[in-house]
């Protein structure tokens, strides 16, 4: 029997090696768990770099009216070889104007004296306007390349970052790159949807086309926008990007010398529906017609009567329950005795339930704690990640290694595998993630298998006549290897 189990474990380890090799292939693939329950995949393989590239080796596209040429991608470093994501929106205007349009639903002003764009004087929108979903964001620095007539080719960093969502949840993330001159300025935007991945300790991108459409719609509804069109930049093939970029043309700028009310003329503001779509504020107000107003609230007298009735109901229920226990002591005692001898009182069964419930709840609890800390200490993502990542990494190991007692190893393997798998899916559902890369799916499957092996090793440690720690430590090392894999190889 021992030899058979050893062969099975060898096959498990061999399968994990093959999965790790599969995740190491440099592909960009996604699995879409759509609303219809179907699964669709899209994959593109990035060509291997053949040494350092120069501006002559890449394709540049014209932006603006003065002949600037943009490399329509972003990069981790100031090099073409570290390409990350394609630019998918270009606005013929300054980043400050774009930020003001997105965050405040109104145009910025041009200060002729300082020759600069003046953003809104306050970070809060007027009370008569709906709050914008966009806010300032933090993220890793990314660069893009611009070839200009005056300074030649140069690498520029993002001017600002915006997002709609939460850092430790799911969000639409924008990086804005400004170029040109005050008379002919432009803004390149890299828009994508991502979510915080506890295994990678950074964000995983799931979509490019959806966020592009969201930004496009938000800008189309601004009164200062005169034209929105699609131009072929041929930078598709990554995730769901198709190579067509939204080009937005803004009208003449406002002057800061205009009256205050004119400089802040209101435009139709939109609200966000449950499906993530924007709609006009007038329609949103009409949809709230069924919402009780202040006049519909109960008066003090009626509220007091309701509270008194609630207290009386609790008292009657408590007294009735005690009376039932006293009058039917024999039946109640028989029920307690049956529970004592049922499976519910079995320590082994309780451990199975505890392991399953804990593994299901753990990813959701860690995510909830991160979102709560983010609201308490914003702009400190490293602190939040440093506090919670050890819990996420080592709590499943501790549970799977110490709880298994009795029953069969197969039961504990299945409990750990299914319990943690349901927890990871519940975590995705909590933050609204419906699309994940294929390599991430393969890695998570390997993690579930490793956790099941830890549960089996923990069971054998306490059930064997001669406990051995070597199998358990080997399984824990495999778990650590799988956690380190995304950090160092960037899957």
pTM exceeding 0.85? no
Q: What is the pLDDT of residue 352?
A: 92
C-alpha triplet 155, 157, 162: angle, nearest 5°: 150
**How many C-beta neighbours within 10 Å does residue 91 have?**
26
Sequence-ordered strand ranges (E) for 79-126: 83-86, 89-92, 109-111, 116-118
Bridge pairing between strands 160-165 and 135-136: antiparallel
**Sequential DSSP letters for 207-229:** ESHHHHHHHHHHHHTSTTEEEEE
Q: What per-residue confidence (pLDDT) applies to 338?
A: 60
Question: 216 is written with which tokens?
Answer: 């496009």
The total number of residues shown for the chain amounts to: 491
pLDDT along the chain (491 residues), means of 10: 45 49 44 38 41 84 87 95 95 87 73 52 48 83 89 88 93 93 88 95 93 92 89 93 94 54 38 40 38 37 54 61 59 59 71 94 96 91 94 95 89 94 95 87 94 92 73 91 82 53
DSSP codes, 352-375: HHHHHHHHHHHHHHHHHHHHHHHH
- H or E segment to which residue 231 belongs: strand 225-232
Q: Which residue has 């474990």 as its token pair?
A: 9
Beta-bridge partners for 249: 92, 227
Contact 367, 426 (CB under 8 A): no
Q: How far is CA 361 from the centre of its chain?
A: 18
- How many CB atoms are closer than 10 A to CB 380? 14
Cα→Cα distances 178→62, 99, 186, Å = 14, 11, 6
Q: What pLDDT score was predicted for residue 241?
A: 94
Distance CA 70, CA 132 (A): 30
β-strand partners of 255:
110
- Could you tell me the strand order of the sheet in which 435-436 lies? 39-45, 27-33, 435-436
Reference 150, options 32, 262, 260, 67; nearest CA is: 67
Which pLDDT does position 36 carry in this prediction? Answer: 36
Provide the terminal-to-terminal Cα distance of the chain, rounded to the nearest Å: 38
Q: What is the CA radius of gyration of the chain?
A: 29
Question: Where do the H-state alpha helices sit in 117-227?
Answer: 209-220
């Amino acid at each position: 029997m021992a030899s058979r189990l050893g062969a099975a474990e060898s096959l498990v380890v061999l399968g994990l090696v093959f999965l790790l090799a599969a995740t190491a292939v440099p592909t960009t693939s996604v699995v879409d768990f759509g609303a219809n329950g179907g699964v669709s995949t899209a994959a593109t393989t990035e060509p291997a770099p053949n040494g350092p590239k120069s501006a002559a080796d890449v394709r540049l596209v014209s932006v603006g009216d003065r002949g600037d040429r943009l490399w329509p991608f972003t990069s981790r470093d100031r090099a073409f070889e570290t390409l990350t994501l394609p630019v998918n929106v270009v606005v013929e205007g300054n980043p400050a104007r774009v930020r003001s349009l997105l965050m405040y639903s109104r145009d910025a002003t041009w200060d002729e004296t300082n020759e600069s764009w003046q953003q809104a004087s306050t970070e809060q929108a007027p009370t008569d306007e709906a709050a914008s979903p966009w806010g300032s964001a933090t993220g890793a620095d990314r660069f893009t390349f611009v070839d200009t007539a005056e300074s030649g080719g140069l690498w520029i960093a993002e001017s600002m970052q915006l997002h709609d969502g939460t850092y430790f949840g799911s969000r639409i993330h924008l990086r804005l790159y400004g170029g040109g001159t005050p008379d002919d300025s432009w803004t390149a935007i890299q828009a994508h949807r991502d979510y915080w991945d506890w295994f990678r300790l950074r964000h995983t991108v799931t979509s490019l086309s959806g966020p592009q459409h969201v930004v496009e719609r938000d800008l189309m509804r601004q009164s200062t926008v005169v034209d929105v069109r699609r131009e072929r930049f041929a930078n598709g093939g990554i995730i769901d990007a198709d190579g067509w970029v939204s080009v937005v043309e803004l009208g003449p700028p406002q002057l800061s010398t205009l009256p205050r009310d004119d400089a802040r003329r209101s435009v139709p503001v939109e609200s966000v529906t449950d499906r993530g779509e924007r709609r006009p504020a007038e329609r949103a107000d009409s949809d709230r017609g069924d919402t009780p107003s202040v006049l519909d609230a109960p008066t003090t007298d009626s509220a007091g009567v309701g509270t008194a009735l609630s207290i009386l109901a609790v008292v009657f229920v408590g007294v009735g329950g005690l009376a039932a226990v006293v009058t039917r002591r024999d039946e109640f005692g028989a029920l307690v005795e049956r529970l004592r001898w049922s499976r519910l009182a079995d320590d082994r069964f309780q451990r199975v339930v505890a392991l399953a419930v804990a593994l299901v709840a753990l990813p959701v609890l860690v995510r909830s704690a991160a979102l709560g800390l983010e609201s308490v200490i914003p702009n400190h993502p490293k602190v939040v990640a440093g506090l919670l990542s050890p819990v996420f990494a080592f709590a499943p190991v501790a549970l799977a290694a110490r709880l298994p007692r009795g029953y069969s190893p197969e039961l504990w393997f299945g409990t750990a595998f299914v319990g943690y798998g349901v927890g990871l899916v519940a975590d995705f559902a909590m933050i609204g993630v419906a699309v994940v890369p294929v390599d991430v799916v393969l890695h998570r499957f390997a993690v579930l298998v490793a956790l099941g092996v830890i549960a089996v090793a923990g069971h054998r440690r306490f059930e064997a006549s001669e406990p051995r720690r070597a199998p358990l430590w080997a399984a824990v090392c495999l778990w650590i290897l799988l956690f380190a894999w995304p950090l160092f190889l960037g899957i």
